[in-house]
Each structure stands twice: as structure tokens, then as C-alpha cells.
């Protein structure tokens, strides 16, 4: 029997690179294939972040190595699918890391707001 691996501390992955954060975010709500991730990130960031396939697949490999994502076995309906496509989903660890990173960013933004970096809010 393989020994269960202890779950690493999600905070040890912080801070994530913006690309890694975006990829995890893209997989947060549904499983996607590589090209789906590219499109999701692109539409969500209004074209600001445009991943290239080579970069994406290298990053996906890293995320796989770090156990933040896994390849999914579930496939969509055959008429929408291409058998050669690989689908990815976030692991529990990946979800925890994503949340930790989001919280970190949130506190940073809060801090920035407190210092009126984003302009003064109306009292």
C-alpha cells in the first residue's frame, strides 16, 4: 500500500506567480482542457493575460508536479469532445493554495486601500 503523503502547508507555495494564480483560478469552477484554460484566462482578464500553449503546458506540468492539479478522467459528451484532449482539475491542496493566495492578495489590497493608494473612499 502506498503511504498517504502528508498534506503540505498551502502557505508554503505563496506567493504564486500571476500565471499560476490565473490557471488555478480558471480551474476553480470547472474542469478544463489546456486550450479552455487559455480562453478562460483571456476572456476573464479582458485579454490582459494571454497564455501561449508552450508556456501553459510547462506551467501545467509544474502544477501537476506540485500536486496542485490532476488530470481528470471525466469526459464531456462525445460530440463535444476530442479524444486527444486532456482535462485538468484542481486538487484539494490546489484549492487551499488558491484560497491562501487570494487571501494574501485581499489583505494586500485592504492594506493598500487603508493607505489610500486606490484613492480616498467617501466617508
Q: Site residues for another protein, window 51-90 (CB under 8 A)? A: 52-59, 61-63, 66, 68, 84-86
Asked if 45 is part of the footprint of another protein (rule: CB under 8 A), the reply reads no
Choice from 29, 47, 116, 117 touching another protein (CB under 8 A): 117
Helix ranges, the chain (H): 18-28, 34-44, 53-65, 92-114
Q: Which is nearer to another protein, 3 or 5 (CB)?
A: 5
How many CB atoms lie under 10 A from the CB of residue 25?
19
Choice from 25, 26, 27, 38 touching another protein (CB under 8 A): 38
Q: Is the peptide bond before 49 cis (omega within 30 degrees of 0)?
A: no
How many CB atoms lie under 10 A from the CB of residue 51?
22
Farthest-apart Cα atoms in the chain, separation? 61
> Nearest distance from residue 30's CB to another protein, in Å?
18
Binding mask 7-36 for another protein (x = CB under 8 A): ------xxxxxxxxx-----------xxx-
Amino acid at each position: 500500500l502506498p503511504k498517504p503523503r502528508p498534506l503540505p502547508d498551502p502557505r508554503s507555495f505563496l506567493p504564486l506567480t500571476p500565471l499560476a494564480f490565473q490557471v488555478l483560478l480558471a480551474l476553480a469552477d470547472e474542469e478544463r482542457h489546456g486550450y479552455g484554460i487559455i480562453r478562460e484566462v483571456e476572456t476573464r482578464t479582458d485579454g490582459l493575460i494571454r497564455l501561449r500553449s508552450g508556456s501553459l503546458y510547462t506551467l501545467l506540468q509544474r502544477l501537476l508536479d506540485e500536486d496542485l492539479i490532476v488530470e481528470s478522467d471525466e469526459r464531456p459528451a462525445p460530440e463535444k469532445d476530442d479524444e486527444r484532449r486532456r482535462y485538468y482539475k484542481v486538487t484539494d491542496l490546489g484549492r487551499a493554495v488558491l484560497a491562501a493566495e487570494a487571501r494574501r492578495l485581499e489583505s494586500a489590497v485592504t492594506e493598500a486601500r487603508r493607505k489610500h493608494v486606490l484613492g480616498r473612499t467617501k466617508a
